[in-house]
């Protein structure tokens, strides 16, 4: 059982990152079907890598460059997988007026003006938001942001139906069970214990609002989600989490 769970975890890690996995882990659609519970765990690892890069580079560079290095490291190790989903989603929903057209635009590998502008603004938002935190807080916030945002994407697997006959998320399109979703949620909550409770709650609330808003739009316009929708949800939820933590209620 433990080996099987490891296979599911490594399947998720290989699908969403460029990180190496053990040679004994084979390619299995069944493993990917069960891998969704480990989405936040993958975020935990990606966030930890970004946190380490920030910590090391902040010893020799100004904080602006250290934050940039942390962001670049996550882009590199994930192959900008979720950022690509964000640009495709914005292009599709920005340029399409009905389901078939939206899906066709999202499937096009070329990036349009909507997607390019949205990607620039999203990366700038995350960059500027992270600079507002104290230097010693940023590693913990990076880990929490990457983890909770991937849980946000995983909730779509429970709430919505997959709308393509094929696609990059097709192996993950099985509806996630409540037990698996709870496991993912517990994983996502662990890094939050290292943050101030009020700030963490505000971050989670804004990330949840962003997720619900996107989910409602996906359901209304295309009747469910695609792989690009999952990536877009992760990206917007991550940015929303940082922005939520910066909210002042005084």
Average pLDDT over residues 225-236: 96
User: How far out from the chain centre does Cα 107 lie?
Assistant: 19
What are 1-55's pLDDT values in tens digits? 667 788 888 888 988 999 988 877 766 666 677 788 899 999 999 999 999 999 9
Q: Are 40 and 148 in contact (CB under 8 A)?
A: yes
What are 96-116's pLDDT values in tens digits? 889 999 999 998 888 889 999
What are 60-82's pLDDT values in tens digits? 999 999 999 999 999 999 999 99
pLDDT at 234 over 70: yes
Q: Are 176 and 36 in contact (CB under 8 A)?
A: yes
Domain ranges of the chain: 2-16+29-243
Specify the pTM: 0.93
What stretch of H or E contains 7?
A: helix 2-16
User: How far out from the chain centre does Cα 42 lie?
Assistant: 10
């Amino acid at each position: 059982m433990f080996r099987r769970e490891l296979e599911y975890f490594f399947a998720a890690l290989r699908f969403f990152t460029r990180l190496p996995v053990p040679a004994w882990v084979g390619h299995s659609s069944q493993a990917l079907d069960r891998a969704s519970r480990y989405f936040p765990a993958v975020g935990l690892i990606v966030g930890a890598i970004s946190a380490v890069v920030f910590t090391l580079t902040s010893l020799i560079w100004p904080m602006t460059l250290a934050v940039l290095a942390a962001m670049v490291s996550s882009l590199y190790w994930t192959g900008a997988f979720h950022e690509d989903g964000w640009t495709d989603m914005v292009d599709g929903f920005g340029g399409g007026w009905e389901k078939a057209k939206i899906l066709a635009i999202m499937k096009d590998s070329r990036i349009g003006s909507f997607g390019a502008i949205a990607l620039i603004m999203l990366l700038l938002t995350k960059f500027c938001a992270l600079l507002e935190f104290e230097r010693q807080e940023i590693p913990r916030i990076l880990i929490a942001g990457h983890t909770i945002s991937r849980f946000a994407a995983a909730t779509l697997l429970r709430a919505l139906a997959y709308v393509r006959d094929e696609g990059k998320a097709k192996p993950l399109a099985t509806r996630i069970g409540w037990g698996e979703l709870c496991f993912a949620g517990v994983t996502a909550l662990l890094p939050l214990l290292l943050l101030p409770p009020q700030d963490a709650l505000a971050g989670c609330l804004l990330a949840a609002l962003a997720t619900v808003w996107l989910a409602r739009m996906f359901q209304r316009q295309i009747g469910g989600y695609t792989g690009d929708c999952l990536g877009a949800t992760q990206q917007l939820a991550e940015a929303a989490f940082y922005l939520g933590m910066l909210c002042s209620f005084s």
